[in-house]
Amino acid sequence: MDQLLYASEVIVNGLMTGVMYSLVALGFVLIYKASGVFNYAQGVMALFAALTLVGIMQGQVPFAHLINAAFGTHLENFGWNVPALLAILLTAAVMVLLAIAIEKLVLQHLVGQEPIILFMATIGLAYFLEGLGDVMWGADVRTLDVGLPQGISETIETATNDWLGYGFFIDRLDIWATIIAAVLVAALVAFSQYTKQGRAMRAVADDHQAALSVGISLQFIWIMVWSIAGFVALVAGIMWGTKSGVQFSLSLIALKALPVLMLGGFTSIPGAIVGGLIIGVGEKLFEFIMSSPDLAGSWFGFTISATENWFAYVLALIFLVFRPQGLFGERIIERV
């Protein structure tokens, strides 16, 4: 019974982590649907957004490191602090600029190339952004606090304690992340269903040529989609940055989002959400079972730990062998 309670706590926490994965995966799906580009740089965009946000909030001078090295000055700070909301808006503006730059400098020149070339270009973009973020804002680990509540939620703990005799530990940040993710998804769905631009975006996703022929500007749609993806990256960056500090490892969540996408299918927004939840719950539960001496220890005679590193990939790999297009992906039809 105790094990069951622990396991259900693990499942709830896994669901919350899954929501965070879904947030990153959403950015991938948006760009993939609209432009057919598999944007590996999504994770680094989240890192870049979080770094920019912290930098703006703390009033850091951008490129201070570079300027100091080149001209021998000692610039550090402007000496002011920007309130969180304004900083978020400014960062969103930076992400839009970034989207425009990416469209003009990279995507425009690669129209019509094979998908794999585009994918590799975004790996290059990821490296560039990683370097740019470090050069602009320095490479130290920073804490990000935009006023989101953190820490264990006592309400839930006491409520579950009274009810089940065992208090669930759930981070308030995770609850907020879930709510924000839900709002974000609802907003995105509403946007793509009910607005003119959203419909244009879906048209482009459906068929580039047909969309062009009815007068939709591909350039504008791409910039818009990359901006939205930048905004999603910003939200993901805020969540992950608040949770574990703004540092390089933030960009590695992109790698975690990949198996999520493979499970859910690259083209499906609900798929990204469900895939994220499956991966989140799966890896937490697997780790819990395999590292517990009472469960794996008594069943197999050994325990293993730190399985979170690879569980998601192996799960996705095994899953794909049976269903190559993912859970909700469009059926792959091959012709010669």
Partner 1 sequence: MFYREAGDFKTSYRDDGQSFPIKLDRYGYYAILAVAAVVVPFAINDYWANAVLLPFLIYAIAAIGLNILVGYAGQVSLGTGGFMAVGAYAVYKLMTSFPEISIVIHILLAGGITALVGIAFGLPSLRIKGFYLAVATLAAQFFLVWLFNKVPWFYNYSASGQINAPERTVLGWAVTGPAATPSAKYLICLAFVVLLAWVARNLTRGMVGRKWMAIRDMDIAAEIIGVNPLTAKLTAFGVSSFFIGVAGALLFAVYLGAAEVTEAFGINKSFLILFMVIIGGLGSIFGSFAGAAFLVLLPVLLKNLLVGGLGWPTNLAAHIELMIVGALIIFFLIVEPHGLARLWQLVKEKLRLWPFPH
Q: Which residues bind partner 1 (CB under 8 A)?
A: 38, 65-66, 69-70, 105-106, 109-110, 113, 115-117, 119-121, 123-132, 134-135, 139, 255, 258-259, 261-262, 266, 304-307, 309-310, 313-314, 316-317, 320-321, 324, 334-336
> Minimum CB separation from partner 1 for residue 218, in Å?
18
The distance in angstroms from the start CA to the end CA of the chain is 57
Give bridge partners of residue 152 from the DSSP assignment.
Answer: 171
Hunting for tokens 């680094």 — which residue is that? 44
Hunting for tokens 């989140």 — which residue is that? 280
Question: 24 or 170, CB closer to partner 1?
Answer: 24
The backbone region for 321, taken as left when phi is positive above 0, alpha when psi lies in -120 to 50, beta otherwise, is alpha
3-state SS assignment for residue 74 = coil
Nearest to 53 by CA among 178, 126, 177, 137: 137
Distances (CA, A) of 308 to 161, 182, 282: 29, 25, 9
> Minimum CB separation from partner 1 for residue 67, in Å?
11
Question: 119 or 169, CB closer to partner 1?
Answer: 119
> Minimum CB separation from partner 1 for residue 40, in Å?
10
Question: 89 or 255, CB closer to partner 1?
Answer: 255
Question: 55 or 167, CB closer to partner 1?
Answer: 55
> Minimum CB separation from partner 1 for residue 109, in Å?
4
> Minimum CB separation from partner 1 for residue 2, in Å?
27
> Minimum CB separation from partner 1 for residue 291, in Å?
11
* Contacts of residue 320, Cβ cutoff 8 Å, sequence gap at least 6: 262, 326
Contact (Cβ atoms closer than 8 angstroms) between residue 25 and residue 275: yes
> Minimum CB separation from partner 1 for residue 262, in Å?
5
Question: 25 or 238, CB closer to partner 1?
Answer: 25
Question: 235 or 274, CB closer to partner 1?
Answer: 274
Question: 7 or 139, CB closer to partner 1?
Answer: 139
Task: Indicate if the alpha-carbon torsion angle 286, 287, 291, 295 is positive or negative.
Answer: negative
Residue 271, amino acid:
G
DSSP H or E run through 200: helix 196-206
